[in-house]
Chain A
Amino acid sequence: MNKFSIEQFKKALSTIRMSEHERTRVRRALEQYIHTAYTKPIRSPFLRHANTFILRPMQAIAMILVVLVSSGAGLSYAANEALPGEPLYGFKVNINEEILTIAMDSETRAQYEVSRAAKRLEETAQLAIMGRIDAKTETTIREQLAKHTQKAQASAKEASVNNPETTIAITSRLENELTARGKVLEEIKAVKNDDDASLTTIIDATQTTLDEIAIDKENAIQAVALENTEVTKERVEKKRIIVDEKLKTLENLMLIPSEKLSSDVTQIEDELDQIQIEETMQDATVTTISEASSEETPLEAIDETLSQTIDDPTSIESLTENITIIQNLIKNADAFMEDKEYGKAFESLQRALEKADETLKNIELKEQYSQALEDSLVDESVTTIAPLSIVESATTTDSSISQSISQETRATLPKQ
């Protein structure tokens, strides 16, 4: 018989921890929540009204618009779901979304415009899957993308008057969001396997935007370098802590066997194979075997594309390589710090941070991609549903969706 000891309880319960995946997912959901939810300290009711109606006429106009929109709540709600080319799309981007920006401070506005730019590419993906991109919608999307990007950069510059780091942070996020969604568009293009000129134009426009963003970021990095060295040093040290944390997250991922990380995908791919076999057998009863096997089924197309077009970011090799790059960048930053070249140190750490974010984002997208494929198995129209799910799950910014994604992942955990 064991002797009672409270330490024994403590020791047993201390084993309860979130897995690294759970930790990262909840953190990401929170990051999205705090970046997208517009919240400011509540002022006194008197001041709030004074500001709205006397000092800030634009806010008064916004409020009137909100009332008008609320009175047509159904219209407003319907507009939120509109895609480019649909009647309510203009209402969505010019009224529903614009109203929110009026009362935002410059940094919040910049973050919001980044989300809007990403949203435009999500809409593009949905349209591409449905084969509904024409010259008109393409122009609309490109114009909107350019508008949001410019606004995000302008607001970031405004916000960075006192802290140039703000511009770097915002342009980096913009870069990450557009890169990830650009990849989704390319994957859709590959799955569809047709020469959609409009989609190609949008992908090219996204790339051009990314090139411009890179220049903007470079300028911001130089601005940091020219700043007061003591202040910069402090920021570099803070940045170093953040980078270390990200590196730790990646290193923890290394502890998870690669089979576990990609087990979902493997399982789904096995199921796809099984379905293909069944389909082929069914086809054989109504057609000749040669006919059934000579044409590539949609399932094969997706399966093939999955293996050909997507690098496996969850592989141990890929993680090891990225971790090495990040470690080298940190070493460079340390060397620059010793030489008191804080601007360069900051730049190096920023790159390390981006690399870490990119790696984590790729892992997340890969997981969601596998989930989308799994969903597609329940429907016969695989080619349509699977990519739609990819877009919905891989590109949404809503925290509630993040929760549902977390639940999907949790469902895969062993029940004891």
Chain B
Amino acid sequence: MEDTLQQQKFLEAYDTFHNDIFRFCLVKVRNRDVALDVTQDTFTKTWEYLTTGKQVDNMRAFLYQVARNNIIDWSRKKKSESLESLLEAGIEFGSDEAMHKSIDTFDAKHAAQLIDELPDTYRDIIYFRFIEDLSIQEISNITGEKENTISVRIHRGLKLLEEKFNHTQS
């Protein structure tokens, strides 16, 4: 019975956060198929973690943390292969046209590209803070950085992003 309850809670977490995790993955890996795989893998690993009897206090933050690690693993694997084909292809934000007719995917691409161009130290922090509305404490849990450091980086990162944005506009 306990297992059933755990399964139910886990699936509820998927229903609630799947788009958040998918969005994070897509912005980072820039390929829809890979993002879907990484998202599924993130939830699978989270389930494996839960079944070891460990508790997760903040599921959303935990999922981001697992997703982030998965993406790092994916990047390492990718580096050993050729990145050229992926980069040449650009961002694949392909989605179900019928469901997203009103979406201007160029904007999403543009926004993701600008965030992606930020240095590593700012990229995730800016994303978590402003796109996903995570608290500084949550970001600290995910990235392992001190809260003070994160506050400073948010300020600097935002400035850098603005500069990049203005540059593209001009």
A contacts, CB < 8 Å to B: 1-2, 4, 6, 8-23, 26-27, 29-31, 33-35, 37, 39-42, 105, 107-108, 159, 162-163, 166, 169, 238, 245, 255-257, 260, 399, 403, 406-407, 410-411, 413-416
Return the 7 tightest CB-CB contacts between A and B, nearest first.
A41-B53, A19-B96, A39-B51, A12-B107, A12-B111, A15-B103, A16-B23
Does B99 lie at the interface of the complex (its beta carbon under 8 Å from any beta carbon of A)?
A: yes
Known: A12-B108, A256-B99, A403-B37. A17 touches B22 (CB 8 A): yes
B32 in contact with A17 (CB, 8 Å):
no
Hey, which chain A residues are within 8 Å of B166, CB to CB? 1, 4
CB within 8 Å of A: which B21-72 residues = 22-23, 26-27, 32-33, 36-37, 39-40, 43-44, 47-48, 51-53
Contact B130 A6 (CB under 8 A): yes
**Contact of A31 with B11 in the complex, beta carbons under 8 Å:** yes
Determine the distance from Cα of A13 to Cα of B8 in the docked complex, in whole angstroms: 29
The contact of B14 among A14, A30, A40, by CB within 8 Å, is A30
Q: Is the CB of A403 within 8 A of B40?
A: yes
* B120 interface residue per 8 A CB criterion: no
Instruction: Known contacts A4-B165, A30-B14, A107-B4; decide if A15 and B108 are in contact (CB<8 Å).
Output: yes
Expressed in whole angstroms, the minimum distance between the Cβ of B134 and any Cβ of chain A is: 12
Are B108 and A23 in contact (CB-based, < 8 A)? no
Q: Do residues A414 and B33 form an inter-chain contact, with CB atoms below 8 A? A: no
Contacts of A34 in B (CB 8 A): 7, 10-11, 47
Query: How many angstroms between the C-alpha atoms of A41 and B165 in the bound complex?
Result: 49
Q: Which residue of B lies closest to A248 (CB)?
A: B15
Contact between B131 and A10 (Cβ–Cβ < 8 Å)?
yes
- Per the 8 Å Cβ criterion, residues 64-119 of B in contact with A are 92-100, 103-105, 107-108, 110-112, 114-115
Q: What 19 new A-B contacts, CB under 8 Å, besides A16-B27, A42-B52, A166-B1?
A: A1-B169, A2-B169, A4-B161, A9-B114, A9-B161, A13-B131, A15-B108, A17-B100, A18-B19, A26-B36, A30-B11, A30-B43, A39-B48, A107-B1, A257-B98, A407-B33, A413-B95, A413-B96, A414-B97
In the bound complex, how far is the Cα of B37 from the Cα of A105, in angstroms? 31
Q: Is the interface of B mostly helix, strand, loop or mixed?
A: helix
Q: Once the chains bind, are B32 and A410 in contact (CB under 8 Å)? A: yes
Does B170 contact A1, Cβ atoms closer than 8 Å?
A: yes
On whether A33 and B47 interact (CB within 8 A), knowing A403-B37, A416-B92, the answer reads yes
Bound Cα distance from A107 to B6, whole angstroms:
13
Contacts of A8 on B, CB cut-off 8 Å?
111
Residue from the list B14, B15, B96, B158 in contact with A21, Cβ < 8 A: B96
Asked whether B130 lies within 8 Å of A18 as measured between CB atoms, the reply is no
A160 and chain B: residue at smallest CB distance:
B1
Q: Which residues of B contact A30 (CB under 8 A)?
A: 10-11, 14, 40, 43-44, 47
B39 touches A15 (CB 8 A): no
Binding site for A on B (CB under 8 A): 1, 3-4, 7-8, 10-11, 14-15, 18-19, 22-23, 26-27, 32-33, 36-37, 39-40, 43-44, 47-48, 51-53, 92-100, 103-105, 107-108, 110-112, 114-115, 130-131, 158, 161-162, 165-166, 169-170
| List of A residues within 8 angstroms of B7 by Cβ | 34-35
Q: A21-B96, A27-B14, A416-B94 are in contact. Are A16 and B40 (CB under 8 A)?
A: no
Chain A nearest CB from B67 CB (Å) reads 13
Given contacts A30-B40, A39-B51, A42-B52, contact A18 B111 (CB under 8 A): no
Asked if A415 and B92 sit within 8 Å, CB to CB, the answer is: yes
Write the chain B residue with the least CB distance to A238: B8
Give the residue of B4, B23, B94 whose beta carbon is less than 8 angstroms from that of A17: B23
Chain B residues closer than 8 Å to A16, beta-carbon distance: 19, 22-23, 26-27, 93, 95, 108, 112
What is the chain A residue whose CB lies nearest that of B41? A403
Q: How far, in angstroms, from A414 to B33 measured CA to CA in the complex?
A: 12
CA distance A15 to B100 in the complex (A): 8
- CB-defined contacts of B162 to chain A, threshold 8 Å: 4
| Bound Cα distance from A39 to B47, whole angstroms | 10
Contact of A10 with B43 at beta-carbon distance under 8 Å, contacts A26-B18, A413-B94 already known: no
Bound together, the chains give a CA A167 to CA B142 distance in angstroms of 40
Q: Is the CB of A20 within 8 A of B11?
A: no
The answer on a CB contact under 8 Å between A413 and B32 is yes
Q: Which of A29, A105, A399, A415 contacts B94 (CB 8 A)?
A: A415
Give the distance in Å from the alpha carbon of A175 to the alpha carbon of B96 in the complex.
32
CB-CB < 8 A to B15: which residues of A? 27, 245
List the A side residues contacting B115 at CB < 8 Å.
9
Complexed CA–CA distance, A178 and B138 (Å): 45
- Which residues of chain A are near B39, meaning CB under 8 Å? 18, 26
Interface contact B44-A33, CB-CB below 8 Å: yes
Residue of A nearest to B99 (CB): A19
Enumerate 24 A-B pairs (CB-CB under 8 Å) in ascending A order: A1-B169, A4-B162, A9-B115, A13-B111, A15-B100, A15-B107, A16-B23, A16-B26, A16-B27, A17-B23, A17-B100, A18-B22, A18-B36, A21-B96, A27-B18, A30-B10, A34-B10, A41-B51, A41-B53, A105-B3, A107-B1, A245-B15, A256-B98, A414-B97
Shortest Cβ gap from B125 to chain A (Å): 13
